[in-house]
Structure formats: structure tokens, C-alpha cells
Structure 1
């Protein structure tokens, strides 16, 4: 049996949840115990949660240990957005798991990635509609690249809905919170807009420098 196929068969054997002796696993895979120990070590090195020692047996635990990861900013944004959407899941277990994971990721982020601005901490709870916010991202990204103005309807303080023409400059993920930094023509000033508070976006024919 090829090594890759053997590792897959070993993983399948452990999925049952029982603690299995090395001798029994080796016999099932038709390999020596020495080879079995090496295969166990290979699974553990790959992050598979195999627990046990020689003489006691091996089993899969419920914890999945990932090796250290270096994420690009865009990858972190994608992860944060996915978690933000899942926190709104109708499945309470899935929603709770997404919230817990987002908190754990936030705790590991360097302080330099967390902006001091309080603009998004409004009366409305974060992620009022994360899925709606996510739907605006393709149009906002396209407008940023084209230097194209946008017209948005936005939930302002006190949950008032305002219509604004903006010049979009950058999208930022602050943990699970996504914000759009833009020049607001209504306020004639730079503003940060929470994506989950944007109702609609419309690309305008006007460009800006």
C-alpha cells in the first residue's frame, strides 16, 4: 500500500473514536509497528489531533491543532468576513462557534492591526446584517480600483437612514468588523462606514482623482 493511501486508511481507522493499540493498527495496515509509529508522527506533524503513546494506544481527539500560519491581509479579511456571516447563522451552535473563533483570532492579532477609531461603535449592534454587507464588497472594490463615486444609503447614528455620495478609498477588516474609508461629500470630510450598516450601493458615472 502506498504511503499516502496508508495514512488515509490509518486516519479512517481512528475516526471511530475508540483508542486503538499500535499492534492492532499495524496488523490492519499490514505494516510493522515501527512504520506505524512513523505514520502516527506524520499525522501529528500535519496537525491531525492524534493523541496517545506507545503501549497505551491512539485515538482522535476533538481538538484540531493547526500549525502557525502567516496570513496575507486579504486572507485575513476573507476569514473575518466569513466568520461575520456565520455569526448570523440560524444554527445556534454554528453561530456560537463562529463568535468564539472570531474572538480567539482577535486576541492573537498584533495591536497595530486594530485601529483606534470608534466610528463603527454605534447604537446598532455589530453585524446587524453581515451577509448584506458582504454583498456590497465587489461593487465597492471595483469603485476603489476605478476611482469611481458611489451613492450609498446608510444607517447613521440613531438608526437614521441617509443618502450620501462618497469617494471610496479603502476597505479594512478590523477583526470581524469591515469598514469602508471614503470622502463623504455630504459631510465634506473623511468618514468610516460600517459595511453591515450600508443598505444600498450604486456606482455613479463620475470619477474622482
Structure 2
């Protein structure tokens, strides 16, 4: 069985039953213990959370494990470009996740292909200075994920401050600014807010009366936006 077929099969066995003793796993896969060890290390490099060893047995921990992918040169180049964009243009949480994913993809690339990737014709220009909001992206993500209402003091472009209660549903990333998509109770409609203009951002105990996904889909339909 070629490696491209063996690795997904190995993941499936570990997903169905863990732990699995190394010798038994090697026999089931029809490979030598040495090859099995290499396969396990390859899967770990690709992000699979496999714990243990051949003697104690291998255990696959919960998490997303993607099957082995066959990417074209253009697909790989585009994937790396997107990860570099996230790493350099988002908050610390996403930047760290982007760098981790970038490291895993890089580790999975055969050595013979890395030289060509380093000569990629796609690049990112140096990041322009961004706005420095008083409200952190982590706070905004917390409210979005928890589907909790937010009491916010917001200044518009002319500096006038208003108090709003909003239902934050999504955060848009642009080169020089962030835009929060939210349902505004005051306007009874969707509005777009700049975190850099938020003075106060208090997450309330009260949740959304409508599921966030439904709100997001309604906003997408109104704006004609497709999410990646």
C-alpha cells in the first residue's frame, strides 16, 4: 500500500480504537515496526495528536485530523500565502494558530519541493501600520463565540459617542482595519463597527434571541457576501 493511502488508513484505525499496541498495528497495516514508526511521526508532523509509543500503544487524541492531501504546486503556493497573511495580519491568537499551521504544512512538504516553494512568485508586502483599538480582538471573539450581547460606547467618524447594545456575529479582516458585523438594537438592523472606535465593550450575561449562524446567514444574503 503506498504511503498516500496508508496514512489515512492508519488514522482511521487509531480513530476507531485507541490505544493500539505498535506490533499489532504494524501487522494490521502490513508494514515493519520501523515503517510504522515513520508513519506515526509523519502524521504527527501533519498535526495528528497521537500520543504514546510502540510498546505502550498509540492513542489518537480528539482534534481535527485532515487526511493526506495531494496538492498541486499552485494550490500549495496559495495555501502558504494565505497562512502567511493570517500570521502577519491578525490578533495574537490567530497569528499563533496560523504560524502553527504553517509549520505543520512546511514539515509535511518533501525536501525536494521546498526549494521551489522558496522561489514563489507570490508575496505579501510589508504590513502597513494598523489602527490600535482599545478593545482587543480576544474580547470580541469571546462575545461572538459565546453569542452574548454587548453594551458598547462607540465613537463615529466625527468623534460623537453613542451607547449601543449589539449582537456581534462576525469580524472582517482588512489590510489596515477590522470591521465588526453586528445587529444593533438601536437601529434594529445590521451595522458595521470599527474596533478602533470602541471606547467601552462590556459583554453582558444576556444571550442572543436568535442563533448567531442564522444572523450571519441573513447578513450574508443582504450583503451578497460569501465567507471563506
TM-score > 0.5, shorter chain as reference: no
- In terms of Rg, which structure is larger? 1
TM-score bucket of the superposed structures, by smaller chain: 0.3 to 0.5
Q: State the TM-score, normalizing by the size of structure 2.
A: 0.39
Q: State the TM-score, normalizing by the size of structure 1.
A: 0.42
Higher relative contact order (CA 8 A, sep 6+): 1
